[in-house]
Amino acid sequence: MLVFWKKKLVFLSVPKTGTTAYEEALAPLASIVILDPPELKHAPLYRYNRFFRPMFEKAGGCDDMETLAVMREPVSWLGSWYRYRRRPFMQGRRNATFDISFDEFVEGYVQGNPPGFADVGSQAKFLEPRPNGTAVTHLFRYEDQAGLIAFLEDRLETRISLPRANVSPEMELTLSPRVERKLRRKKPEEFALYESIPLR
């Protein structure tokens, strides 16, 4: 999470959406940089609303902070998790994906109680508006990097050069039509939210 206090902007860090590169590029401009623990670095909107927003309002007298987040196309997002969990350091861990196919990974993901290797959360849940009206102010598609960079350069009044950071191993992944249909049927909220995001 990056907080740009004077610019009234909080950049929420949705896992597997390239935010590590933005953190490296923009941390020097941020008032607050949260990199650890992961539960705070990747604080979803509901955690931001519960802990950070009240802190900003009480300690800083600021009730007009805007939030920014990035969402990745759902199949691509799952593919990134799958590849990430095949990195060498994952050897021997219960959530590694070395011995399962991408289809098996996604089949596990759509279960009510997903196995460890497929327990990766939900982008839709991460970004879900709160009952008090708190919602993500600026939501971008991961695939719309040009729009995101243009927005940030304008808002932060800087030029952005992104490093490659936390990149999952390259590999060709194909989800079978049957499993993709099941994914869309079981997780319609993920696709509906992604498809609602306009290209900038």
Indicate the range of 8-22, 111-125, 157-171 predicted with least confidence: 157-171
Res 163 pLDDT > 80: no
CA 173-100-185 angle, to 5 degrees, is 65
Percent of the chain scored above 90 by pLDDT? Answer: 82
Res 35 pLDDT > 80: yes
Res 112 pLDDT > 80: yes
Res 98 pLDDT > 70: yes
Read off the pLDDT band of 171 (50, 70, 90): confident
13 three-class SS: coil
For the segment 76-82, the average pLDDT, to the nearest whole number, is 96
Res 74 pLDDT > 90: yes
The pLDDT assigned to 94 comes to: 85
For the segment 16-23, the average pLDDT, to the nearest whole number, is 93
Residue 131 vs residue 61, higher pLDDT: 131
Res 168 pLDDT > 70: no
Res 167 pLDDT > 70: no
Res 166 pLDDT > 70: no
Strands 2-4 and 9-11: antiparallel
Nearest by Cα to 179 from 74, 72, 70, 84: 74
Under DSSP, the state recorded for 51 is I
**Single-letter residue type at 51:** F
CATH number of 2-196: 3.40.50
Residue 144: how many CB atoms within 10 A of its CB? 16
Res 60 pLDDT > 80: no
For the segment 166-182, the average pLDDT, to the nearest whole number, is 85
The pLDDT assigned to 5 comes to: 94
Distances (CA, A) of 111 to 103, 114, 119, 186: 13, 5, 10, 9
Which runs of E-coded beta strand occur in the chain?
2-4, 9-11, 32-33, 66-71, 138-141
For the segment 147-176, the average pLDDT, to the nearest whole number, is 87
The pLDDT assigned to 126 comes to: 98
